[in-house]
Structure 1
Amino acid sequence: MEGLVLLLLLLLLYFLPTVVAAVRSKRNTAAIFVANLFLGWTVIGWIIALVWSLMYEEPK
């Protein structure tokens, strides 16, 4: 059971940029998810996805 909780926490941390983008209702949430999924395992890819999800977006 403890292993499952740890796995879920690590997955949440891994996909944190995607979660942030979804909560902030970013228009490019799907693109952030794809970048996070395929490049998140590299530290620089994860940081780029996180910064992308936190960037200010002009309302339309």
Structure 2
Amino acid sequence: MDVVILLAVLHFLPTLIALVRGHHNGFAIFLTNLLLGWTVIGWLIALIWSCTAVERRIRA
């Protein structure tokens, strides 16, 4: 059971990184991770995307 939880956390690591960093494309990263994360390339794309610069929104 612990292995399943560990694998799920590792699978959704890009999503967790995006959420912790407050990434402005967090939902899109989640969808990419969910739909393409089972492929190595899709997972790497989501991981790199989640580590890119976070866009700061200026409040008017």
**Common topology (TM > 0.5):** yes
Structure 1 gaps, min length 5: none
* SS of residue paired to 1:57: coil
Aligned residues: 57
What's the counterpart of residue 58 of structure 1?
A: 55
Give the TM-score normalised by the residue count of structure 1.
0.90
Quote the Cα distance in structure 2 between the aligned partners of 1:28 and 1:57: 9
Percent of aligned positions that are identical: 53
RMSD: 0.7
| 1:27 and 2:35 correspond | no
- Higher percent of residues as helix: 1
Correspondence for 2:39 among 18, 23, 42: 42
